Amino acid sequence: MANRIGRVEAREQEAQTRRMNFKEVSLGYTNEEAVLEASRCLQCRKPRCVPACPVNVQIPAFIAATAQGRFAEAAHIIATDSCLPAVCGRVCPQETQCEGACILGLKGQAVNIGKLERFVGDYSREQGEALPVAGAAANERAAAKNRQVAVVGSGPAGLSCAHDLAKGGCAVTIFEALHKAGGVLEYGIPEFRLPKDTVVKKEIENLKKLGVKIETNVIIGRTLTIDALFEEEGFEAVFIASGAGLPKFMNIAGENLNGVVSANEFLTRSNLMRAYDKASDTPIYTGRRVAVVGGGNVAMDAARTALRLGAETSIVYRRTERELPARAEEVKHAKEEGISFYMLTNPVAVLGDARGWVRGLRCVRMELGEVDASGRRSPVAVANSEFEMEAEMVIMALGTSPNPLIASTTEGLVIDRRCCIVTDEEGATSRKGVFAGGDIVSGAATVILAMGAGRRAAAGILRFLEEKAAGIL
Amino acid sequence: MSIEKKREGLCAGAAGGEGSRGLIVEKRELAENIYLMRIYAPRIAKAALPGQFVMVRASEWGERIPLTISDYDAAQGTVTLVTQVVGMSSRLICRKAAGEQLTDIAGPLGRPSEFVHRTPEELAGGRWLFVGGGLGTAPVYPQVKWLHAHGASVDVIIGAKSAPLLIFRKEMEGVCKALHIATDDGSAGQKGFVTDVMRRLVDDEQQDYTMVVAIGPMIMMKFVAQLAQAYHIPSVVSLNMLMVDGTGMCGACRVTVGGKTQFTCVDGPEFDGAAVDFDEAMRRQNMYNELNVEH
């Protein structure tokens, strides 16, 4: 019988303290808190949360084990479907996925599935809990003749695909363009939301224990082409998960002034290159006041990073708070930390000083008009509403467009109008044996959607390899 | 193991393949504070074409620095980089000795020079003038070498402050039709700027160049491109903008070319010299110097 108590919220670092440091904001559950929260789950016979999860984690089952204090078992249940529980527990938009579907949420508060998943992921890591498939996969890898698969990119899509492929008896090599594995988990999401050494690195190490090889500093499309992976490196199939790509700008005047950067650049300096740490050689600049343009998770991450580097920070967004694409928790945290929100505001020009540095933004006020293709009311400029906002740095967090490197060097790979790679349901592209998934297919999305795409493609690749071995193809 | 032994191993193709990627197999001082390093990186050496660059990190906490490839040898599995000590990161790279390994090297990045796509007839019909200024002389070399190997006619101007700072002189002589030198103090070749030599070649010697390629300090490229435009000769310049990742992800390297924003790493690094906004590029290049960021 489910415990009819209120939702147990995880403890957090005090807003006034955390805005001065890069340590993790949420402190997670203690064992007791986890057991208590887990006891709230109704254990629905037809759970709505599982199909709402892009990788279909067996949520009621892992929560039942957690409620009984069998945390290691809970970890094994999650591991069947997800290789990144400690990551997903921290960065998934649960309110629109598992928790959004939770029946308890209809009349009250949903089970805190995210924090429970995080707890279980952290527990198994801290206890050094070996995942059940490790030994088996290592043996299978030795026998993985004709089952060599290359994965391009070590972000969420690549990692989850590699995970399922390794469990399916493939010898997997992940090629990463940067010097560190993890993709957006390393370069994009800040330390205070997703600790690198204790969480990301450890979950990637788990994957290596399954026999997955990771080669950094290899840029597919440049160092090796997709064709070379087949012809020279001997792979049977390739999964392209090269990620989000090139940052978008607004194409307004003054955008190339000194002090205007993409959120990608700002976050890569701070996260991948650790510029927030004095020991790093990579410089980072903020100025006294920072304006972040955009309303997604990346905008929140950039704003909260700038704040921690000592800047007075504002978010500038052209719709209202209700339309902010960022996770509710990120918006809440950003506000608590003292970030100002300028809603219904759109920059029309970046203003510079005589030395070519940013001094501010010229903005217009917006109002919501007709519903547009995205189903949201589209913002329209209010006449004669221009005003100036002062800032010494402007961060553009407007999304990305696909990196053309692979498409332009791979003959016969079909891309769509937005330059995203075209695939079927299982991730198969127009090229035989070449699969793709994650942001390079969907356009910029979330960690968990990329992981879902990675899983589907892994299933597609396993089927492809079997059909090939059976001589069907 | 001695460097010689390591090199032997490399030449025999038995150096542990990509595991030794980044190994410095040779290091030479070309001029004061200018070093040549031959780096073992077989995949990069095999894929490299003229005009491309690599990203390098010299330490675990080091910056990612773009360096243009100055030569490559697929058979030996090496790429050659020429670095000048200008700041902290280039100093770290230059401090490395032969036998040591760079922390990271990735590439080749950027689009190869446009001429690699030309037909043999087009190459034979063209008359190239390359202008290398200071350190920029090094990346000119693989381009001239490639064109020479493909039967094209190439003249080269090398510019430097003074004779001891001239680099790649001998290498260049072997692959170009005529080599011209300009030094600020007249200690070698013609006294003056590379543009003075260029004027002499076009005005006095009536050389009918069909393309000018300039690589060197931004200000030199600006003036060479302007002069080429005055002579109605198309020009190409290679920009060395600030980069973080070098693969298109950050946009730090954006420049305005023909009124449009381009990313140096994926759209370049070579652009039409007549279309580049050099003043903006120079301002952006110095963004962090100006801040005097302490680290």
pLDDT at residue A46, as a whole number? 95
Domain A135-245+402-469 homologous superfamily, CATH: FAD/NAD(P)-binding domain (3.50.50.60)
Q: Do A223 and B107 lie within an 8 Å CB cutoff? A: yes
pLDDT at residue A127, as a whole number? 85
pLDDT at residue B88, as a whole number? 87
Residues 6+ apart with CB under 8 A from A212: A162, A163, A166, A172, A173, A174
pTM: 0.92
For chain A, residues classed under CATH 3.50.50.60 are: 135-245+402-469, 247-400
Q: Are residues B57 and B24 part of one domain?
A: yes
Q: For residue A268, which of A251, A256, A282, A249 has the smallest C-alpha distance?
A: A282
Cβ–Cβ contact B57 with A under 8 A: yes
pLDDT at residue B15, as a whole number? 47
Q: pLDDT (tens digit, 9 = 90+) per residue, B96-110?
A: 999 999 999 999 999
Give the end of a domain, one of B109, B130, B151. Answer: B109
Q: What percent of chain A has pLDDT over 70?
A: 96
Give the end of a domain, one of B187, B216, B238. Answer: B238
- Cβ neighbours, 10 Å, residue B19: 9
Residue B69's CATH number: 2.40.30.10
Q: Which CATH architecture has domain A11-126?
A: Orthogonal Bundle (1.10)
Contacts of A249 in chain B (CB under 8 A): 251, 254, 261
CA atoms within 13 A on the CB side of A441: 28
Q: Are residues B209 and B159 part of one domain?
A: yes
Q: Do A281 and B62 lie within an 8 Å CB cutoff? A: yes
pLDDT at residue A141, as a whole number? 52
Tell me which of A256, A261, A350, A403 to substitute to probe the interface with B (most B C-beta atoms closer than 10 Å).
Answer: A256
Q: In what order do the strands lie in the sheet with B235-238?
A: B190-191, B178-183, B153-160, B127-133, B211-215, B235-238, B270-272
**Banded model confidence at residue A1, pLDDT cuts 50, 70, 90:** low
Q: Report chain B's mean pLDDT, rounded to a whole number.
A: 91
CA distance A135 to A119: 25
Q: pLDDT (tens digit, 9 = 90+) per residue, A379-418?
A: 999 999 999 999 999 999 999 998 889 999 999 999 999 8
- The answer as to whether B243 is a domain residue is no
**Banded model confidence at residue A69, pLDDT cuts 50, 70, 90:** very high
Distance from CA of A246 to the nearest CA of B (A): 5
Contacts of A286 in chain B (CB under 8 A): none
Q: Looking at residues A312-319, what average pLDDT do you find?
A: 97
Distance from CA of A179 to the nearest CA of B (A): 7
Evaluate if residue A129 carries a pLDDT over 80: no
Evaluate if residue B4 carries a pLDDT over 80: no
pLDDT at residue A287, as a whole number? 87
Evaluate if residue B294 carries a pLDDT over 60: no
Tell me which of B245, B257, B263, B282 to substitute to probe the interface with A (most A C-beta atoms closer than 10 Å).
Answer: B245
**Banded model confidence at residue B86, pLDDT cuts 50, 70, 90:** confident
pLDDT at residue A212, as a whole number? 95
Q: Looking at residues A450-469, what average pLDDT do you find?
A: 94
Q: pLDDT (tens digit, 9 = 90+) per residue, B213-226?
A: 999 999 999 999 99
- The answer as to whether B202 is a domain residue is yes
Contacts of B250 in chain A (CB under 8 A): 247, 262, 264-265, 268
Angle between helices B278-285 and B218-230 (to 10 degrees): 170
The string of DSSP letters for A174-195 reads: EE-SSSSTTTHHHHTS-TTTS-
CA distance A310 to A322: 28
| Secondary structure letter of residue B204 according to DSSP | I
Q: Report chain A's mean pLDDT, rounded to a whole number.
A: 92
Q: What percent of chain B has pLDDT over 70?
A: 93
Q: For residue A452, which of A52, A49, A48 has the smallest C-alpha distance?
A: A52
**Banded model confidence at residue A74, pLDDT cuts 50, 70, 90:** very high
Angle between helices A59-67 and A31-38 (to 10 degrees): 120
Using alpha carbons only, what angle is made at residue A456 by residues A452 and A457, rounded to the nearest 5 degrees? 115
pLDDT at residue A145, as a whole number? 67
Phi–psi pair at A17, nearest 5 degrees: -80, -50
B101 DSSP β-pair partners: B23
Evaluate if residue A134 carries a pLDDT over 90: no
Tokens of B182: 């300009």
CA distance A43 to B291: 58
Question: Complex ipTM above 0.95?
Answer: no
